[in-house]
Every structure is written in C-alpha cells, then in structure tokens.
C-alpha cells in the first residue's frame, strides 16, 4: 500500500514539475490544490496508472477527466476568492469541484446536461466553471451569474478547443478565447445543426 501511495505522490509531483510549471502555471494555490487532490481517485481502477498523463481520460459513463494542464490553467484564470459562490458544470469526474471547494465559500456541482438546461440552484454566482469545451453558453446558465460574475470554460470553435473567460454584464456574457487546450467537448452544449443546402 505504501509503495502505491508513494508512486502516486511521485506522479503528482512530476505532473506539477513537467506539465504545469513549464506551461506557465505557477500560482501557489493552484499547485497546492493539484498536489493535494489525488487524480487517481477520480478515474476507474483500470485508468489509475495513467491518471497523471498529459491527456484526457474517458470515464465509463461517457464523461471524462480532462488533462491536468486544463485544470491548472482553469484555476489560475478563475482566481477564486474565499467569498465566492461557485457553480461547476461537471464533465463527469467530480475532480474540478474537489479542487476548488476549500478555496471558496460554496460550490454547486451540476452535470453537463443539467448545466446546459440552466438547471442550477445557485443564483448570483460569482464564478462559473465549465469542465470541458462548449459550443455555446445557454442564456439560462449565464443568468445564474451575478453582475460582474466570472466564467472560465473550454470553448469549441471549428473543431479547436480553447480556454475562454468572460464576465457577466447587463445580463450578457461574452467569452474571450485565450489558449488552445485540447479539452474534450461537452455535447450537451452543442449548437443545433440546423438546415444546410
């Protein structure tokens, strides 16, 4: 048992030193949380050995655990504050909610389908985190943000996923794409295909 724990601790350290730091993720609170939360607990037994690789892991229910760099960039961009009310739209693993929970006042975690339909209990949220790439942000979900509330998400545009951020202003949220991330798509947030001739 000790050998296994030591192996995972070493893998967490390697994730920080070889994936996060070289990519510019150096905020102490991010590195501390990602070192404290064991990614291997959020994947099936068969995937525990690859939990720290620089890639997303598909989960049995169709969800996924994004690559570590996505979560590191997301937390750094979110800049959580102790008084924040947070909504996490979960990609299926529960990992992101666990990363942020001790940094903020409250966390409501919802599934991607519920998030896409705006089914959240929290109103006037300070921070909305979406654990995957979306094609569109539904007005019902954006409406859960307080004026000036922040959002950090993956954004899918023409097959390329990027980290994106935005703020709620006057009932609207505009997303600003930042850096390519390669995060998996949350199909519940897909645009309607519409007609084509």
Evaluate whether residue 23 is within a structural domain: no
Is the pLDDT at 194 greater than 90? The verdict is no
Evaluate whether residue 73 is within a structural domain: yes
Beta bridge partners of 85: 106
The percentage of residues in the chain with a pLDDT greater than 70, rounded to a whole number, is: 95
CA distances from 7 to 1, 43, 56 (A): 10, 16, 20
Question: How many separate domains does the chain show?
Answer: 1
Which structural domain range is residue 100 located in?
A: 54-189
Contacts of the segment 111-115: beta carbons below 8 A, 24+ positions apart: 112/63, 112/186, 112/187, 112/188, 112/189, 113/188, 115/87, 115/89, 115/90, 115/141, 115/188, 115/189
Evaluate whether residue 2 is within a structural domain: no
Evaluate whether residue 20 is within a structural domain: no
pLDDT confidence tier of residue 1, bands split at 50, 70 and 90: very low
What CA–CA distance (Å, rounded) separates 134 from 173? 14
* First-to-last C-alpha distance (Å) of the chain: 61
Evaluate whether residue 127 is within a structural domain: yes
Evaluate whether residue 95 is within a structural domain: yes
Evaluate whether residue 159 is within a structural domain: yes
97-128 pLDDT, tens per residue? 999 999 999 999 999 999 999 999 999 999 99
What CATH number is given to the structural domain containing 83? 3.40.50.150
Evaluate whether residue 30 is within a structural domain: no
């Amino acid at each position: 048992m000790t050998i296994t724990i030591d192996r995972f601790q070493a893998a967490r350290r390697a994730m920080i030193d070889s994936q996060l730091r070289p990519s510019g993720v150096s905020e102490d609170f991010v590195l501390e949380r990602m070192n404290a939360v064991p990614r291997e607990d959020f994947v099936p037994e068969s995937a525990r050995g690859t939990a720290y690789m620089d890639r997303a892991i598909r989960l049995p229910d169709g969800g996924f655990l994004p690559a570590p760099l996505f979560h590191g960039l997301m937390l750094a961009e979110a800049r959580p504050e102790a008084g924040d009310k947070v909504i996490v739209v979960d990609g299926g693993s529960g990992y992101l909610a666990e990363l942020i929970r001790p940094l903020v006042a409250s966390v409501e975690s919802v599934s991607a389908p519920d998030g896409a339909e705006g089914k959240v209990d929290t109103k006037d949220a300070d921070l909305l985190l979406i654990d995957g790439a979306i094609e569109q942000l539904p007005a019902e979900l954006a409406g859960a943000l307080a004026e000036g509330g922040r959002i950090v998400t993956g954004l899918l545009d023409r097959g390329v996923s990027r980290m994106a951020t935005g703020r709620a202003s006057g009932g609207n949220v505009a997303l600003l794409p930042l850096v390519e991330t390669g995060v998996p798509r949350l199909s519940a947030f897909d645009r309607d295909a519409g007609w084509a001739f």
